[in-house]
Amino acid sequence: MTERAYKVYSISSGTVIDHIPTPLALRVVEILGLGNEGILTIGMGFTSKRLPEGKDIVKIENKVLTRDETDMIALIAPEATINIIEGGKVIEKRRISLPDGIRGVMRCPNPNCATNVLGAQRVFGLASPEGPLYRCRYCERTTKVEPDLLITSAGI
């Protein structure tokens, strides 16, 4: 069996999100609402010393994500690293942290919640970083963030 060489091309300007647990790269793209944002490069299933299950990488060319946008990644990939690229070089490395509040990106699991019955806006406040747990603004149910509850990016 021959060994395959894997190549991930560098970008000259934009944002690189590394150390996303496999297979969550597409979910990160959904959460950030990057479907039509230009050139995206997504690598999935790379070997990683930090993540024994494997890692994914997302490269967004010609777009620098805001800190609020990159903090949304912490909902499902708290160990992810963010590199801001300019002129082909890393000019900033960011640590991500859980946002204090999220709007429009998570559905409430309570079937009787106003967000599910009346279509009220989905708004959650951070209840505890352990989990992480967020509290629904309407029904006050505290919920652990799970990838299946996350829908798409609408704001912080």
* pLDDT for position 123: 94
The architecture of the domain spanning 13-94 is: 2-Layer Sandwich (3.30)
Three-point CA angle 43, 48, 51, nearest 5°: 100
* pLDDT for position 137: 95
* pLDDT for position 69: 82
User: For the domain bounded by 101-149, which CATH number is listed?
Assistant: 2.30.30.20
* pLDDT for position 35: 67
The domain segmentation of the chain, as residue ranges, is 13-94, 101-149
Q: 13-94 and 101-149: same fold?
A: no
* pLDDT for position 1: 47
Average pLDDT, consecutive stretches of 10 residues, N- to C-terminus, the chain (156 residues): 61 91 86 76 86 90 86 84 93 88 89 93 92 92 85 51
* pLDDT for position 155: 44
* pLDDT for position 138: 94
